[in-house]
């Protein structure tokens, strides 16, 4: 009889040990995935900051050539300022703040598009070496933004899938892991921009 008690006791301890290791593994996996999402988000912020830093130089260069395009400059400055006021640290955990952040970045993109149209009207500006260098840097930054947003979405997808799968969803709920928002195409992105001279 004592032999059976010892065997059953050892089995219970073994099961508890295995379950405990599984829970630790799930938790550590979620932490790793969430850190990957945070890292991807930091890269998104990094390239947006690069774009934000390039804008004043680009605007000043264009201003010298296109003084009557004041409205475009004001819109770009206002869009840049609205992004600067945001607390981006909490954006990925709050879908409403994420949408607000994406809308503000979209406003910058639209203002930059209008600025590019303005620049096309000034052939001497397009020949300016400083302007060409800034334009090239801005185009490269826009490409980086697209890449980093995709990397963020990929990391967020892996994390979101993990916290929804059983039994990890139970642990995720207990430990308060929240789903991450995704970047989506901006409204009107399907339509080609209209360029008028």
The pTM score is 0.69
Confidence at residue 192, expressed as pLDDT on a 0 to 100 scale:
47
Domain-located, residue 196: no
| Residue whose C-alpha is closest to residue 186's, from 111, 106, 125 | 106
Domain-located, residue 165: yes
Domain-located, residue 114: yes
Residue 115, exposed/middle/buried by CB under 10 A (0-12, 13-18, 19+)? buried
Confidence at residue 193, expressed as pLDDT on a 0 to 100 scale:
45
The CATH number covering residue 20 comes to 1.20.1440.20
Confidence at residue 121, expressed as pLDDT on a 0 to 100 scale:
67
Q: Residue 14 in 3-state DSSP? A: helix
- Could you tell me if 161 and 177 are in contact, meaning their C-beta atoms sit under 8 angstroms apart? no
What count of other Cβ atoms lies within 10 Å of the Cβ of residue 133? 12
As for how many domains the chain has, the answer is 1
Domain-located, residue 189: no
Domain-located, residue 181: no
Confidence at residue 163, expressed as pLDDT on a 0 to 100 scale:
94
Residue 110, exposed/middle/buried by CB under 10 A (0-12, 13-18, 19+)? middle
Confidence at residue 171, expressed as pLDDT on a 0 to 100 scale:
92
Domain-located, residue 184: no
Confidence at residue 68, expressed as pLDDT on a 0 to 100 scale:
52
Domain-located, residue 33: yes
pLDDT mean values, one per 10 residues, the chain (197 residues): 86 92 93 93 88 79 63 71 70 81 82 73 65 80 90 94 93 92 70 45
**What span, in angstroms and rounded, lies between the C-alpha atoms of 124 and 120?**
10
Confidence at residue 108, expressed as pLDDT on a 0 to 100 scale:
81
Confidence at residue 1, expressed as pLDDT on a 0 to 100 scale:
79
- Could you tell me if 131 and 62 are in contact, meaning their C-beta atoms sit under 8 angstroms apart? yes
Domain that holds residue 164: 2-174
Domain-located, residue 38: yes
């Amino acid at each position: 009889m004592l032999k059976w008690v010892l065997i059953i006791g050892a089995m219970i301890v073994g099961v508890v040990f295995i379950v405990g290791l599984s829970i630790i593994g799930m938790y550590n996996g979620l932490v790793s995935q969430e850190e990957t999402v945070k890292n991807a988000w930091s890269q998104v912020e990094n390239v947006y900051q690069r774009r934000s830093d390039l804008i004043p130089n680009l605007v000043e260069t264009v201003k010298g050539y296109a003084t009557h395009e004041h409205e475009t400059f004001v819109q770009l400055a206002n869009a840049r300022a609205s992004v600067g006021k945001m607390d981006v640290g909490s954006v990925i955990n709050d879908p409403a703040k994420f949408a607000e952040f994406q809308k503000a970045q979209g406003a910058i993109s639209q203002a930059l598009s209008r600025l590019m149209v303005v620049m096309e009207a000034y052939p001497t500006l397009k020949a300016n070496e400083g302007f060409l260098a800034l334009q090239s840097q801005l185009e490269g930054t826009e490409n980086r933004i697209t890449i980093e947003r995709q990397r963020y979405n990929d990391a967020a997808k892996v994390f979101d899938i993990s916290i929804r799968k059983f039994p990890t969803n139970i642990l995720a709920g207990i430990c308060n892991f929240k789903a991450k928002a995704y970047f989506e195409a901006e409204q009107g992105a399907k339509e080609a921009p209209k360029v008028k001279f």
